[in-house]
């Protein structure tokens, strides 16, 4: 194998599995260390730089970081990364205005319109306002937030948390126009904006066209529209027996909301086995804790009515044949079953809807009537019109919408400055040694064998008294300190200098997980089979050094096994191994603007 290029930013970025898995590239280990030190405001600002909404996402993020957490390789449960994010938000200083980007009084003369006041548009405004842009956000509802407000119940995301983090951005000087739906993109383009960003989400819930649908229409609800009506106080009750069709996160919000509006018996109906559910495991756990029934292998067949009123639904009972990989290779109907219901909520998916975009504006749509959007620049086929969040590629989650906003803001800046939207700064990486003495490090490198802390909840007796009682209470400072100890500091990298190695094997001998091997070089499959512990996870790279000067062999490290404990660096007599913190820098619009200014300095 060729020597590993550790100068490439992706190498050390990918080793920090949680940060690699986060769409917004949040520096997770860094903010966890700050929490451990009681520096909650600093931890909040590290979060805010990348994910913009730490208080919101600390409650409702889909947590792609946690399944990737390296702690899950040494014991069953990962670090509670998301809930630690909330700790930083809950315990930070009340006023962080002085630490937010400064907004120039003199604007740059460029005007940007954002459609929809959801997370993607708000992120665009957050990134462009400090550069002197005038940003106008058009929102159809009376309050901003998009799906964060309309589709996430207040018992999961309190309005005061939502309002505060939105206002941090609006107070930058954003022209927020509420109750102002955009009904014609042509008309908006005629208002002289230099760029338009579409962050309108995927606002159309999918329907279920089955026999009885029209007769029972008054008691059949589209999930996202129903949650929206609840959020704005238009709906405050539901029948005692409720069926939820679908098993995504929206379905979980619908079933738990139903219980708070008077339902006594709520069942979530799933067409396939549990392994195929789209809902996050923790969302399913929360629903089942509240006695929601999950019924699998039931395919909706018809709505059943009597004298024009819904009485329930008829379902086909399904059986599935799975292959060795757990994939469905066959299905059959083995019977049918009736479930009584006073109301049915359909949570079977969401779709984009753009009736307000005229089809002769140069914006190409695909066969699913979704705009064609470049996955790097987020620009549509009409220059100057950009899409992000669910409006770009369909329903995902808030953290994806935030990253879309960051990337779209770069493109909008490039476009408005007359530059190519594809001309973007690459990510970078910096390394800083954590050595304080011969055997001392500026981070805790011992293994803490504590179990994952459980987040306290409001009791089942109390939580249903009001719709807006937040169920999760969050960690106390003491609980957060214990949970922070579980982080393995994956961003403090084992960095090797082949020139200093004397091939004494001390590092190999002391490694507790056998991730180091000094051996003759070979092809990757060959090397992987000859290591002290065979490297079977092909998704994570091997580190391979340059030839060592004593024998010409190479130092090989399996990044999948390494715990970043630092014992190799402590034991090495020549300091060939060092522990260095990796700072992965993922450029935002401000970085591109700074680079432009450096290339083209103004002459007074």
Q: What is the pLDDT of residue 537?
A: 87
Parent domain of 577 = 492-585
Looking at the domain assignment, is residue 315 inside a domain?
Answer: yes
* Per-residue pLDDT tens over the stretch 366-394: 988 889 999 999 999 999 999 999 999 98
DSSP of 429-448: EEEEE-B-SSS-BSS--S--
CATH number of 269's domain: 3.50.50.60
Residue 4 in this model has a pLDDT that exceeds 70: yes
417-461: pLDDT as tens digits: 999 999 999 999 999 998 877 667 777 777 778 899 999 999 999
Q: Are residues 249 and 291 in the same domain?
A: yes
What pLDDT is stored for residue 329 in this prediction? 94
At 203 the pLDDT is: 83
Residue 265, token pair as written in the block: 């018996």
CB 313 within 8 A of CB 302: yes
Q: Running DSSP on this structure, what letter comes out for residue 425?
A: P
**What 3-state DSSP class applies to 23?**
coil
Amino acid 439: pLDDT:
66
* Six-digit token string for 48: 């805010």
Q: What share of the chain has pLDDT > 90, as a percent?
A: 87
Residue with tokens 């899950």: 72
Same-domain check for residues 143 and 221: no
H or E stretch including 86? helix 81-91
Spatial neighbors of 100 by CB under 8 A, at least 6 apart, are 168, 172
pLDDT tens digits, one per residue of 262-292: 999 999 999 999 999 999 999 999 999 999 9
Pairing of strands 428-433, 577-585: antiparallel
* 565: CATH: 3.30.70.20
Q: How far apart (Å, rounded) are the C-alpha atoms in residues 535 and 522?
A: 14
* pLDDT mean over 164-180: 98
CATH at 47: 1.10.1060
Does 395 map to a domain?
Answer: yes
CA distance 540 to 535: 9
The pair phi, psi for residue 546, each rounded to 5°, is -70, 165
Over residues 142-147, the mean pLDDT reads 96
Reported in sequence order, the residue ranges of 195-325 that DSSP labels E, i.e. its strands, are: 195-198, 204-205, 220-222, 241-245, 265-269, 293-295, 298-306, 309-322
Q: What pLDDT digit, counting tens, does each position of 70-81 carry?
A: 898 888 899 999
Residue 435 has a pLDDT of 82
Choosing from 416, 445, 462, the residue where a domain stops is: 416
**pLDDT bucket at 308, cuts 50 / 70 / 90:** confident
Domain shared by 451 and 573, yes or no: no
Q: Average pLDDT, stretch 182-199?
A: 97
The pLDDT value recorded for residue 74 is 82
Instruction: Give residue 54's pLDDT.
Output: 97
- pLDDT exceeds 60 at position 604: no
Integer Cα distance of 153 and 232 in angstroms: 11
- Report the helix count and the strand count for the chain, using DSSP H and E: 22, 21
Q: What is the largest CA-CA distance in the chain?
A: 90
User: What is the pLDDT confidence band of residue 602, given thresholds at 50, 70 and 90?
Assistant: low
pLDDT over 80 at 603, yes or no: no
C-alpha dihedral, 352 to 356 to 361 to 364, nearest 10°: 10
Q: What is the pLDDT of residue 444?
A: 78
d(CA 18, CA 490): 9
- In this structure, of 65-69, 70-74, 530-534, the range with the lowest mean pLDDT score is 70-74
Query: Is residue 552 domain-shared with residue 566, that is, in the same domain?
Result: yes
CB atoms within 10 A of CB 470: 18
Count of domains forming the chain: 4
End-to-end CA distance of the chain: 54
Residue 412 counted as domain residue = yes
Res 545: pLDDT? 97
Residue 348: is its pLDDT beyond 90?
yes
On whether both 439 and 384 belong to a single domain, the answer is no
Residues 6 or more apart from 212 whose CB is under 8 A from it?
302, 303, 304, 305, 310
The model's confidence at residue 235, banded by pLDDT at 50, 70 and 90, is very high
Residues 204-230 have a mean pLDDT of 95
Q: Of 416, 439, 455, which residue sits at a domain end?
A: 416
Give 493's strand partners: 580
State yes or no: pLDDT of 579 exceeds 70.
Answer: yes
Cα 48 to chain centroid, rounded: 13
d(CA 70, CA 77): 10
Same domain, 363 and 242: no
* Same domain? 334 vs 235: yes
89 and 31 within one domain: yes
Q: Coil, strand or helix: which one is 172?
A: coil
Residues 500 and 581 in one domain: yes
Average pLDDT over residues 334-354: 94
Domain shared by 198 and 288, yes or no: no
In this structure, are 198 and 105 located in the same domain?
A: yes
Whether 602 maps to a domain, the answer reads: no
Alpha helices in 23-80 (DSSP H): 28-36, 40-51, 54-60, 65-68
Residue 226 pLDDT > 70: yes
Helix (H) or strand (E) holding 385: strand 385-387
Over range 127-142, report the average pLDDT: 97
Closest CA to 231 of 169, 170, 143, 161: 143
Least confident of 148-152, 494-498, 516-520, 592-596: 592-596
114 and 220 belong to one structural domain: no
Mean pLDDT for 458-468 is 93
Question: Is the CB of residue 388 less than 8 Å from the CB of residue 378?
Answer: yes
Q: 231: pLDDT confidence band, cut at 50, 70 and 90?
A: very high
């Amino acid at each position: 194998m060729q020597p590993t290029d550790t100068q490439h930013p992706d190498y050390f970025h990918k080793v920090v599995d949680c940060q690699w898995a986060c769409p917004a590239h949040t520096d997770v280990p860094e903010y966890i260390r700050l929490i451990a030190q009681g520096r909650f405001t600093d931890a909040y600002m590290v979060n805010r730089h990348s994910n913009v909404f730490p208080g919101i996402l600390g409650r409702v993020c889909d947590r792609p970081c946690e399944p990737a957490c390296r702690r899950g390789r040494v014991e069953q449960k990962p670090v509670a990364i998301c809930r630690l994010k909330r700790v930083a938000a809950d315990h930070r200083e009340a006023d962080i205005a002085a630490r937010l980007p400064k907004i120039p009084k003199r604007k740059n003369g460029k005007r940007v319109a954002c459609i929809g006041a959801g997370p993607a548009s708000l992120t665009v405004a957050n990134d462009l306002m400090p550069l002197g842009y005038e940003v106008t956000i058009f929102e159809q509802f009376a309050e901003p937030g998009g799906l964060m407000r309309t589709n996430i119940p207040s018992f999961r995301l309190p309005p005061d948390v939502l309002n505060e983090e939105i206002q941090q951005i609006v107070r930058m000087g954003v022209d927020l126009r509420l109750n102002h739906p955009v009904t014609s993109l042509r008309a908006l383009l005629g208002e002289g904006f230099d760029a338009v960003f579409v962050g309108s989400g995927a606002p159309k819930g999918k329907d279920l066209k089955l026999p009885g649908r029209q007769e029972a229409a008054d008691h059949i609800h589209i999930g996202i529209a129903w949650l929206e009506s609840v959020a704005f106080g238009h709906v405050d009750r539901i029948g005692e027996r409720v069926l939820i069709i679908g098993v995504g996160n929206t379905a979980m919000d619908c079933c738990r909301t139903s219980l708070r509006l008077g339902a006594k018996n709520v069942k979530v109906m799933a067409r396939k086995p549990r392994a195929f559910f789209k809902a996050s495991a923790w969302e399913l756990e929360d629903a089942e804790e509240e006695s929601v029934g999950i019924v699998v292998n039931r395919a909706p067949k018809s709505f059943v009515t009597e004298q024009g009123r819904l009485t329930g639904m008829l379902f086909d009972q399904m059986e599935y044949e799975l292959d060795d990989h757990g994939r469905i290779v066959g299905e059959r109907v083995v019977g049918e079953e009736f479930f009584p219901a006073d109301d049915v909520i359909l949570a079977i998916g969401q779709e984009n809807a753009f009736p307000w975009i005229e089809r002769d504006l140069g914006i190409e749509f695909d066969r699913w009537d979704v705009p064609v959007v470049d996955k790097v620049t987020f620009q549509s086929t009409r220059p100057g019109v950009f899409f992000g969040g669910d409006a770009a590629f369909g329903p995902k989650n808030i953290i994806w919408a935030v990253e879309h906003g960051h990337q779209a803001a770069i493109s909008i800046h490039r476009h408005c400055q007359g530059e190519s939207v594809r001309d973007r700064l690459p990510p970078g990486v910096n390394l800083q040694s954590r050595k304080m003495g011969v055997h001392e490090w500026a981070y805790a490198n011992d293994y803490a064998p504590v179990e994952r802390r459980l987040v306290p909840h409001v009791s089942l007796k109390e939580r249903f008294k009001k719709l807006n009682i937040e169920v999760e209470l969050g960690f106390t400072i003491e609980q957060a300190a214990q949970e922070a100890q579980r982080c393995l500091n994956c961003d403090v990298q084992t960095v090797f200098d082949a020139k200093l190695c004397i091939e004494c094997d001390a590092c190999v001998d002391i490694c507790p997980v056998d991730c180091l091997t000094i051996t003759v070089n070979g092809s990757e499959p060959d090397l992987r089979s000859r290591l002290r512990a065979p490297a079977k996870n092909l998704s994570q790279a091997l580190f391979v050094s340059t030839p060592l000067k004593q024998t010409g062999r190479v130092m090989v490290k399996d990044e999948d096994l390494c715990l970043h404990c630092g014992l190799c660096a402590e034991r090495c007599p020549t300091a060939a191994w060092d522990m260095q913190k990796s700072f992965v820098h993922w450029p935002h619009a401000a970085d591109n603007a700074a680079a432009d200014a450096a290339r083209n300095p103004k002459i007074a």
